[in-house]
Amino acid sequence: MPFPRPHIAKQADASVPEIRPPRSKIIKTLIGTGAGNAVEWYDWAIYATFASFIASQLFSKQDPSSAFLATLAIFAVGFVARPLGGFIFGWIGDKVGRKASLTLCVGLASLGSLAIGLTPTYDSIGAGASLMLLIARLIQGLAHGGELPSAQTYLSEMAPASRRGYWASLIYASGTAGILFGTLLGAVLSSVMPESAMAAYGWRIPFLLGAVFGLVALVMRSRMEESELFKSEAAAHDAVVSGYPATARGGLFADLARHWRQALQVIGLTVGLTVAYYVWGVSTPAYAINVLKVDAAEALWAGVAANLVFIVALPLWGRLSDRIGRKPVLLISGIGSALLFFPATWFVRDSALQLGLAMSAMLVFIAGSASIMPAVYAELFPTAVRTIGVAIPYALCVAAFGGTAAYLQAGFGVWFGDAGPTAFALYTIALLLVGAATVLSLREGRGVDLSNR
């Protein structure tokens, strides 16, 4: 029986010139990955952006506060499907191919968006509207559970070792561009449409557009090339195991069990980042509108400005990590976010300007971790289990912590009154510090040759 290859990190040989892929291949890789990722994040995040409108149309109007919390609860329920999606599409990515997983994910996400856009109102079909919303979010949860690990793995494997951190920043940059477009669309619609029209049908427009964008991304991804690293690993694996009986070949769960330490590191690195990002990058404008009573259009414009700052910061952190290493950047980001969380929370009161400044400051620090985390995840695992090795612990973590972030942020305000923001800040800071402690357990991955993982 063959023994698994030792999991040893090897730096790329500086004396050997690094082979760069052709420019046409680079463009196809970046555009296909980025466009599909943007569509998925757009589909996922516009739910939070338009949560207040969804609550008024797909839930009972008798208790608006309960309807809004129920809407956010379904946002959290959508995360429940992500671990299953991570398992399914992670398996597809590692066994069939990264390209197949990416293509299927974006198609499924857009189907969920179409379903939300066409869901009848609560006044029309009663609780059936809420049920249809729940099913659509579960569909999107399956897709998003596979999208991030598949895209992160594919892009990291396609990137030159010396620029992996920089390339990895495309994941959150493109994803945030999708979120930004959704937020911008919400701001424009809220500015030009009467509130009654926005509540009646305007909120559906972004979801229907998401289905159209998904078709375009689906075509683009179908034309991408498969990762050479995956193809070579698959060929080598087939050659090794072909002479052994099936009972002697390692199974998927056996492979995952051998890398349980790396799985725990993925969870540790993700807990604080996912909560901080969903709070300051996605849900805070909705929180400001519903809890702090900030004007809806102004709050959404503040979110647009802050996310532009985030996009600009991402590649800068990625380049820095390729020069000084992943660990210093992760520590600066995690500790900086923890230190700034209280001041930023206290700063946000009843002004859209305060909201925009606080979001921008937090997102600059959050960008440090977000920009390079795809590369860090890829550098933890060998090629044979790289997608599913990240997908399952990542999806479980995001479901448990990221999926409940918006609900807890609003809920703490309802449950604890004036002390709600402080309690939620303490909760998030604790998770950020867990992430910083996990960084100390990592081996530096800058410049590591992924074929030797």
Q: Is the CB of residue 230 less than 8 Å from the CB of residue 98?
A: yes
pLDDT of 398 over the 90 cut: no
pLDDT tier at 235 (50, 70, 90 boundaries)?
A: low
Residue 114 per-residue DSSP state: H
In angstroms, what is the C-alpha Rg of the chain? Answer: 22
Q: What's the pLDDT at 262?
A: 92
What is the predicted pLDDT for the residue at 299? 87
- Overall average pLDDT of the 201-214 stretch: 91
Whether 325 and 446 have beta carbons less than 8 Å apart is answered as yes
Segment 110-116 shows an average pLDDT of: 91
How much helix, strand and coil, in percent to the nearest 5, is found in the chain?
85, 0, 15
Q: Identify the pLDDT of residue 292.
A: 79
Nearest to 261 by CA among 447, 391, 442: 442
- Write out pLDDT tens, residues 290-346: 777 888 888 888 888 998 999 999 999 999 999 999 999 999 999 999 999 999 988
pLDDT at 242: 44
Model pTM score: 0.79
- Reported as a single tens digit per residue, the pLDDT across 132-177 is 999 999 998 899 888 888 998 888 888 888 899 999 999 989 988 9
Share of the chain above pLDDT 90, in %: 32
Asked if residues 335 and 369 have their Cβ atoms less than 8 Å apart, the reply is no
pLDDT tens, position by position, 337-393:
999 999 998 898 888 999 999 999 999 999 999 999 999 999 998 888 888 888 889
Instruction: Count Cβ neighbours within 10 Å for each residue of 149-165 and write b for 16 or more, e otherwise.
Output: bbbbbbbbbbbbbebbb
Per DSSP, the three-state class of 11 is strand
Question: What CA–CA distance (Å, rounded) separates 390 from 393?
Answer: 6
pLDDT for 18 beyond 80: no
More confident residue, 323 or 78: 323
How far is C-alpha 303 from the geometric centre of its chain's CA atoms? 17
Q: What is the pLDDT of residue 248?
A: 39
Tell me how long the chain is: 453
Q: Cα(first)–Cα(last) distance of the chain, in Å?
A: 21
By the 8 A CB rule, do 98 and 154 touch? Answer: yes
Q: If pLDDT is split at 50, 70 and 90, which confidence band does 288 have?
A: confident
DSSP for 142-205, please give it. HHHHHHHHHHHHHHHHHS-GGGHHHHHHHHHHHHHHHHHHHHHHHHHHHHHS-HHHIIIIITHH
Taking the C-alpha atoms of residue 282 and residue 272, their distance in angstroms, rounded to an integer, is 15
Per-residue pLDDT, 446: 87
